[in-house]
Amino acid sequence: MSSFRLDIWTPFVHTRIMQLTLTVKLQPNPDQAASLLQTMERFNAACNAIAETAFRERTASQVKLHHLLYRDIRARFGLSAQMAVRAIGKVVEVYKRDKSIQPTFRPHGAIVYDDRLLSWKGVDRVSILTLQGRILVPVTMGAYQAQRLRRVRGQADLIYRDGTFYLAVVVDVPEPPPLQPDDWLGVDLGIVNVAADSDSTTYSGGQINGLRKRHAKLRQRLQKKGTKSAKRLLKKRRRKEQRFATNENHRIAKQVVTHAQDTRRGIALEDLQGIRDRITVRRPQRRRHHSWAFAQLRTFIEYKAKLAGVPVVLVDPRNTSRTCPHCGLIDKRNRPNQASFRCIGCGFAGPADTIAAGNIARRAAVNRPDAGPAPEQVPASSVL
């Protein structure tokens, strides 16, 4: 019998929980891989059958579809009881997004596993239900994933990508209490410089843009060639650029959050929602502009900041790169080129991205995202 004791002087603290998705790699033997693949194909075939009925009956009710299809789905596709329930749930979730079309599911689409279908045996093995019964599959992961998998686990998605099986695992992570910031660290997101903060630290995008340019030329050359070996190489390299950019965004986000945490400041970001619809660029710049993963970087900064207890605010980005922090003048001519800023009124000058980041920080400080930064006194040595 367990007992619980709460001393009367201990305050009750409500701990907020955030969910993280961690991806780990499965190492099944050939027989296990064949079993997982067959289960995945049968599960998605069942989803297509359920979607057909849902669209015909015009219903997204899981209860109604369960009564209509549960026994038939189990008999036709050989799914277990809980797997049939998960298949119905997957169809309902997708169909609710757009009821004007019938959902279709790829043969190797992800399977959602809950605690009844999947269980962990330590951090290096997982028991997974297949059509042939449960199999025990080795798991490989990094130290980051292993540390967090020791916490409470939620559902997991079985993913098949490029011949390899992965588990996308949802874990619950307690959020630390947010700190009360002494000030704000402004962060300006861009293309030439992926990010620049108000402390004059820049994170160059030259390496990322160079890699993207090389990959674009290589893809164009291989697509034009059209041979089997060219197609094989295209398939092999198709995610290399994406992995590199994602790793760079993780690295930059970690540095930004660590710097804000060490200086007891919150992070102020631009609200760039819909920027691609608002901004037009010349044709030679379209590829670089539309491959800019600013939304991913912002997401990484936000969730890493939550884990560190660092508050994040979004401010209106309008005129942050055209506003003089010294005299408050807003003019397009204040930014003669991408890299530099020079106020036509008072002559204040400096790196354009750093000045924009400073304006973002000031907007957060006055808690008025729609207001321009208040003029401030700047040492005469800063005016060029």
3-class DSSP string for the chain: CCCCCCCCCCCCCCCCEEEEEEEEEECCCHHHHHHHHHHHHHHHHHHHHHHHHHHHHCCCCHHHHHHHHHHHHHHHHCCCHHHHHHHHHHHHHHHCCCCCCCCCCCCCCCEEECCCCEEECCCCEEEEEECCEEEEEEEECCHHHHHHHCCCEEEEEEEEECCEEEEEEEEEEECCCCCCCCEEEEEEECCCEEEEECCCCEEECHHHHHHHHHHHHHHHHHHHHCCHHHHHHHHHHCCHHHHHHHHHHHHHHHHHHHHHHHCCEEEEEECCCCHHHHCCCCHHHHHHHHCCCHHHHHHHHHHHHHHHCCCEEEECCCCCCCECCCCCCECHHHCCCCCEEECCCCCEEEEHHHHHHHHHHHHHHCCCCCCCCCCCCCCHHHEC
Model's pTM, two decimal places?
0.72
Average pLDDT over residues 251-257: 93
Q: How confident is the model at residue 229 (pLDDT cuts 50, 70, 90)?
A: confident
Q: In CATH terms, is domain 176-384 a member of 3.30.420?
A: yes
Average pLDDT over residues 87-110: 94
All CATH 3.30.420 domain ranges in the chain, comma separated: 176-384
Q: 122 pLDDT exceeds 90?
A: no
Task: Say which residue, 356 or 373, is predicted with more confidence.
Answer: 356
User: What is the predicted pLDDT for the residue at 381?
Assistant: 32
